[in-house]
Amino acid sequence: MSKTAPTYAQEVRQRHETLIALRRDFHRHAELSHKEHRTATVIAEKLAAAGLEVRTGINGTGVVGVLRGDKPGPVAAWRADIDALPLVEALPLEFRSVNEGAMHACGHDGHTAIALVLAELFAARRRELAGTLVFIFQPAEETFGGAAGMIQAGVLENPRVDTILGLHLTTQYPVGHVAVRPGPSMASADFFDIEVKGKGGHGAFPHLSVDPITVAAHIVIGMQDLVSREIAAQETAVMTVGEIHSGTKHNIIPETAVLRGSIRAFRTNVRDQMVERLGSFASRIAQAYRAEARVTLVGDCCPPVVNDAAWAGHVRGEAVAELGAEKVTEGKPAMGSDDMSLFLNERPGCYFWVGVAPPGKEAQPHHHPAFELDEGGLEVGVRVGLRSLLKALELPPGR
Ligand SMILES: [Zn+2]
Ligand SMILES: [Zn+2]
């Protein structure tokens, strides 16, 4: 490289406006899970313009860009999720979502913009690159329906990915801060329905009926003990019933009651234990009251996000070198879930947190209609992502 060629740091700075503009464009045109058609089109156009090999229509609206360096070397993947949430945006932003009922309230607009800028940065350096970078733009993270289908479609093969990296923006930390955890860092998520079948009748003659509401109540109370009495105190699990449906009138004992809820855990064995015990627990409680109960898992489940210890160490090291040790922490494991876990079950890698908390005011949680991120954090994501990908290609941190 000649002396006048810009450094990576300069190139990141040069793309500052592009980064913000991309994020705002995706924000303005927020699209729900599996419906990210415009988003996917923009991604594919940008990747193609930068000279990457582009594959579209993967698991619906997924896009992959492959960047082959001029020299041989390892294959590293970067994963970004691209979908928005079914919310009506509450803030009067100039780039407010024009798609009423779809809003980027989790920061995936930022993830998409960061990944595109990374792809463009590396594409401009193709001649220096030893190895291959695979940029994975995944649909439908919010419904956990995106990652599995992309993996089945072979996005980690041909070229065979050695390492997978990615980030999630978070208002838990201020701009300039990064958190990286080795091991479990986000919880699993399973969603269940419990159908309790009793025998309907008149509310004045319960002895002639089998009351499913009483049974449902006992199941809800009793299942709290599955966590407190059956999971070791050092482990973590959450079991929540979020819906109860039954009955039509004051004086009618209904036929059925339906409970809907979710289970979260950080370890697969804890998750499996909870799922299995809930099934037998609910059915036996119901039996004791002469009723029946059946537990079914619904929707797409998501295992815990488990970072490879070595890769968490590498990313942490790169973040410290880029931002300073005082800006990098392990953070706390998050009870939320992310189907990045499925990629990390296939390949070693790391999913880390990048702070975007707006300064001077209380940050709204992710998935809130007034969710807001400080765009200053986007460039931090690019900087740490860039160094981490160079590390994955076994290249020096660059100039
Ligand atoms: Zn989310
Ligand atoms: Zn998210």
Can you tell me whether residue 279 is helix, strand or coil?
helix
What one-character-per-residue DSSP string does 158-180 give? TTTPSEEEEEEEEEEEETT-EE-
Question: What is the Å distance from ligand 2's center to 254 Cα?
Answer: 39
Q: How far apart are CA 33 and CA 30, in angstroms?
A: 10
Q: Which of 83, 120, 190, 195 is catalytic?
A: 83
Query: Active-site residue 81, yes or no?
Result: no
| pLDDT for position 398 | 66
- For the cut 70, the answer to whether the pLDDT of residue 234 exceeds it is yes
Q: What residues have CB less than 8 Å from 344, skipping those under 6 apart?
A: 164, 305, 306, 307, 308, 350, 351
Give the Å distance between the CA of 144 and the centre of ligand 1.
10
- Residues 172-228 have pLDDT tens digits of 999 999 999 999 999 999 999 999 999 999 999 999 999 999 999 999 999 999 999
> Over the stretch 286-340, which tens digit does the pLDDT of each residue have?
999 999 999 999 987 899 999 999 999 999 999 999 999 999 999 999 989 999 9
- Per DSSP, what are the bridge partners of residue 292? 197
Q: Cβ–Cβ contacts within 10 Å for residue 378, how many?
A: 26
- pLDDT tens digits, residue range 89-141? 999 999 999 999 999 999 999 999 999 999 999 999 999 899 999 999 999 99
- 266-287 exposure pattern, b = at least 16 Cβ within 10 A, e = fewer: bbeebbebbbebbbebbbebbe
261, 240 in Cβ contact below 8 A?
yes
Q: Provide the 10 A C-beta neighbour count for residue 233.
A: 6
Give the C-alpha separation, 161 to 388, whole Å: 15
Residue 338 among the catalytic residues: no
Q: Residue range 4-11: average pLDDT? A: 83
Angle at 307 between CA 301 and CA 55, to 5 degrees: 65
| pTM of the predicted model as reported, rounded to 2 decimal places | 0.91
Mean pLDDT for all residues in the chain:
95
Distance between CA atoms of residues 249 and 71, nearest Å: 73
Distance between Cα 5 and ligand 1 center (Å): 39
Mean pLDDT of 280-285: 98
Which one of the ligands is nearest to 339 CA?
Answer: 2
**pLDDT of amino acid 21:** 98
What's the gap between Cα 303 and its chain centre? Answer: 11
Ligand nearest to the CA of 110: 2
pLDDT at 2 over 70: no
Q: Judging by DSSP bridges, how do beta strands 201-202 and 252-253 pair with one another?
A: antiparallel
340-399 tens-digit pLDDT: 999 999 999 999 999 999 888 888 899 999 999 999 999 999 999 999 999 999 887 766
- Among 135, 126, 133, which Cα is nearest to 70's? 126
Nearest ligand to the CA atom of 142: 1
Distance 347 CA to ligand 1 centre (A): 23
The H or E element containing residue 75 is strand 71-81
pLDDT at 399: 63
Return the percentage of the chain with pLDDT > 70, whole number.
98
- Residue 3: per-residue pLDDT: 56
Centre of ligand 2 to C-alpha 225, Å, is 30
Cis status, amide bond into 365, omega within 30 of 0: no
Residue 251 Cα to ligand 1 middle (Å): 42
**Rounded-to-integer distance, Cα 153 and Cα 78, Å:** 17
Residue 4's pLDDT band (cuts 50, 70, 90) = low
Give the phi and the psi of residue 77 in degrees, each rounded to 5. -110, 150
**How many angstroms separate the CA atoms of 354 and 174, rounded?**
8
Query: 360 CB contacts (<8 Å, ≥6 apart)?
Result: none
Catalytic residue among 141, 142, 338, 379: 141
**What pLDDT does 361 receive?**
82
Instruction: State both tokens at 246.
Output: 């039954």
Spatial CA neighbour of 275 closest among 267, 342, 143: 267
pLDDT for 1 equals 47
Q: How far is the CA of 366 from the centre of ligand 1 (A)?
A: 7
Ligand nearest to the CA of 108: 2
- Tokens 């419904």 — which residue? 143
